[in-house]
């Protein structure tokens, strides 16, 4: 039962990514809602949780998509979740816009990370204006969705403490 | 899940996860049957869910595209009308030439790609993420499709089967830089190799064409079908849209615009033809 909620969330996000978001073209780019999960987990639960959730969500996506090698998204999202958690650890203020800004920057960084990983393993990656468009589209969409996603993350993966304080959602 | 505040532990977890990812990637690149089977099993199990969710969400996608791409669609519609009129005239002229060519090809025992057995399939998914350049079809091994078979539309070659399951197959499009095809320039008869340059970009022939050879803009490029070719001969690929000399001036670089609209594929044909081993 401990893993039922996170598994359900990953399942829903992968389904949304491969259906709804795959169909919606924004300036030639698609949103990346699965990436939002490690970002939200990194913000809410720190770098270790961000990395673990990133690996699981990425691996689930890897098994369903067909044009990238298995392990590509697992590797990329692990790094994204870890870095977002690391950045969030240094944030002392608690304001609603901080996660939004973190998701904006984290998503753009995530797209760049995937692009670099992709280039490294021989995928055809556009290091031009298209990559900037993809990063912007993913970043804006994820920034818009990060607050509800953090609630989902706290429901799926309850956090008992953060920085010694009790976290209430 | 217990959380750790110790950076050492989280770094260890990160290292472990990265190592696992790299191992999985390496196994996949080496063609591990375990990874392939796992991916096929998950993909097959997930297919009904995706199909159902896809039909639920397709009105949303259609509404979005209708709302934000209305002017593009209208402009394209006008262009297509003009193109259809031009092609109707051209088709009448070509009909006679085709009849003569068919008769000659039959005499010489040449098999044309249009005579090859084929399976019509529907494109059920385009790229699902920003880093893919493949499409997925609703036909697979159950209909005789195998890895390596060419995929065409009425306009010409679009790609090649790279992965196949019982009722699905994955097609790598011609725009993928990894896909290389032997080609022939129809007017001059010159042969060379064409490859992609990425999503939405034209194809390129960057070696094999002597600078002295006269290549007309708009010249048709077809598959050469030479020995051990990965595609049968005579399949139209595209038209030369630009010619220039390479930096070392030893060869011509031809930009080839594909005849098929690779961004909007709905129905395609998989030719049941396997490249020679």
Q: Is residue A63 very low, low, confident or very high in pLDDT (cuts 50, 70, 90)?
A: very high
- Do B129 and A125 lie within an 8 Å CB cutoff? no
- Selecting from B10, B65, B129 the residue whose C-beta is nearest the C-beta of A25 gives B65
What Rg, from alpha-carbon coordinates, does chain A have?
15
Q: Which residues are B254's β-sheet partners? A: B205, B243
Q: Which chain B residues have a beta carbon less than 8 Å from that of A17?
A: 128-129
Identify which of B121, B179, B134, A68 has the alpha carbon closest to the alpha carbon of residue A34: A68
- Do A70 and B24 lie within an 8 Å CB cutoff? yes
- Do B53 and A15 lie within an 8 Å CB cutoff? yes
What is the rounded distance in angstroms from the CA atom of residue B119 to the CA atom of residue B266? 14
Nearest CA of chain A to the CA of B76: how many Å?
17
Mean pLDDT confidence for A127-146: 93
Residue pair B152/B116 in contact by the 8 Å Cβ criterion: no
Q: Which chain B residues have a beta carbon less than 8 Å from that of A45?
A: 1, 3
| Per-residue pLDDT, A57 | 96
Identify which of B163, B135, B136, B138 has the alpha carbon closest to the alpha carbon of residue B149: B163
| Per-residue pLDDT, B105 | 64
| Per-residue pLDDT, A77 | 96
Helix (H) / strand (E) containing B181: strand B180-185
Q: Is residue A165 very low, low, confident or very high in pLDDT (cuts 50, 70, 90)?
A: very low
pLDDT in tens, A1-35: 678 999 999 999 999 999 999 888 888 899 999 99
Q: Which chain B residues have a beta carbon less than 8 Å from that of A79?
A: 18
Query: Quick count: other Cβ atoms within 10 Å of Cβ B270?
Result: 26
The helix, strand and coil proportions of chain B, stated in percent and rounded to the nearest 5, come to: 40, 25, 40
What is the rounded distance in angstroms from the CA atom of residue B173 to the CA atom of residue B175? 5
| Per-residue pLDDT, A163 | 46
| Per-residue pLDDT, B110 | 58
- Do A18 and B134 lie within an 8 Å CB cutoff? no
Tokens of B203: 């194809």
The complex scores an ipTM of 0.88
Identify which of B265, B248, B247 has the alpha carbon closest to the alpha carbon of residue B125: B265
Q: Which chain B residues have a beta carbon less than 8 Å from that of A1?
A: none
What is the rounded distance in angstroms from the CA atom of residue B12 to the CA atom of residue A162? 20
B104: helix, strand or coil: helix
Q: Which chain B residues have a beta carbon less than 8 Å from that of A59?
A: 21, 24
| Per-residue pLDDT, A169 | 40
- Selecting from B1, B58, B199 the residue whose C-beta is nearest the C-beta of A49 gives B1
- Do A124 and B65 lie within an 8 Å CB cutoff? no
Q: Does B70 touch chain A (CB under 8 A)?
A: no
pLDDT in tens, B203-247: 999 888 888 888 888 888 999 877 677 888 888 999 999 888 888
- As a three-state string, the secondary structure of chain A is CCCHHHHHHHHHHHHHHHCHHHHCCECCECCCHHHHHHHHHHHHHCHHHHHHHHHHHHHHHHHHCCCCCCCHHHHHHHHHHHHHHHHHHCCCCCCCHHHHHHHHHHHHHHHHHHHHHHHHCCCCCCCCHHHHHHHHHHHHHHHHHHHHHHHHHHHHCCCCCECCECCCC
| Per-residue pLDDT, B2 | 46
pLDDT tops 70 at residue B1: no
- Do A15 and B61 lie within an 8 Å CB cutoff? no
pLDDT in tens, B54-88: 888 888 888 887 777 777 777 878 788 877 877 77
Mean pLDDT confidence for B249-265: 86
Chain B interface mutation, best of A28, A124, A129, A137, highest count of B Cβ atoms under 10 Å = A124
Q: Which chain B residues have a beta carbon less than 8 Å from that of A32?
A: 129-130
pLDDT tops 90 at residue A113: yes
Q: Does B138 touch chain A (CB under 8 A)?
A: no
Q: Which residues are B204's β-sheet partners? A: B195, B255
């Amino acid at each position: 039962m401990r893993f039922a909620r996170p598994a359900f969330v990953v399942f829903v996000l992968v389904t949304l990514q491969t259906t709804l978001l795959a169909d919606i073209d924004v300036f030639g780019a698609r949103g990346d809602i699965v990436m939002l999960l490690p970002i939200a987990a990194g913000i809410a639960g720190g770098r270790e949780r961000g990395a673990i959730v990133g690996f699981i969500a990425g691996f689930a996506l890897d098994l369903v998509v067909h044009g990238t090698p298995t392990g590509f998204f697992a590797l990329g999202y692990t790094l994204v979740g870890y870095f977002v958690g690391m950045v969030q650890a240094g944030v002392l203020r608690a304001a609603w816009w901080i996660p939004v800004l973190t998701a904006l920057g984290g998503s753009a960084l995530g797209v760049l990370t995937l692009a670099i990983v992709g280039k490294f393993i021989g995928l055809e990656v556009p290091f031009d204006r298209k990559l900037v468009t993809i990063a912007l589209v993913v970043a804006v969409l994820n920034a818009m969705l990060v607050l509800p996603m953090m609630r989902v993350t706290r429901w799926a993966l309850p956090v008992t403490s953060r920085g010694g304080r009790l976290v209430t959602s | 899940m217990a959380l750790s505040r110790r950076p050492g532990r989280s770094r260890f977890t990160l290292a472990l996860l990265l190592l696992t990812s790299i191992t999985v990637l390496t196994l996949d690149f080496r063609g591990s049957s375990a990874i392939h089977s796992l991916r096929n099993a998950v993909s097959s199990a997930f297919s009904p869910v995706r199909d159902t969710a896809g039909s639920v969400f397709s009105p949303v996608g259609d509404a979005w595209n209708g709302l934000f791409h209305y002017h593009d669609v209208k402009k394209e519609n006008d262009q297509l009308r003009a193109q259809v009129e031009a092609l109707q005239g051209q088709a009448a002229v070509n009909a006679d030439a085709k009849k003569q060519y068919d008769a000659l090809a039959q005499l010489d025992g040449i098999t044309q790609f249009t005579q090859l057995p084929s399976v019509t399939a529907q494109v059920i998914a385009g790229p699902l993420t920003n880093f893919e350049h493949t499409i997925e079809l609703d036909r697979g091994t159950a209909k005789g499709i195998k890895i390596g078979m060419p995929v065409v539309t009425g306009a010409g070659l679009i790609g090649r089967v790279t992965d196949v399951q019982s009722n699905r197959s994955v097609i790598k499009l011609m725009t993928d830089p990894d896909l290389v095809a032997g080609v022939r320039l129809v007017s001059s008869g010159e042969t060379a190799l064409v490859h992609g340059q990425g999503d939405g970009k034209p194809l390129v022939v960057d070696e094999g064409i002597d600078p002295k050879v006269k290549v007309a803009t708009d010249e048709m490029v077809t598959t050469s079908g030479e020995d051990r070719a990965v595609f049968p001969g005579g399949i139209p690929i595209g038209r030369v849209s630009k010619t220039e000399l390479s930096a070392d001036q030893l060869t011509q670089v031809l930009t080839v615009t594909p005849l098929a609209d690779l961004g909007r594929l709905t129905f395609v044909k998989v030719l049941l033809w396997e490249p020679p081993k």
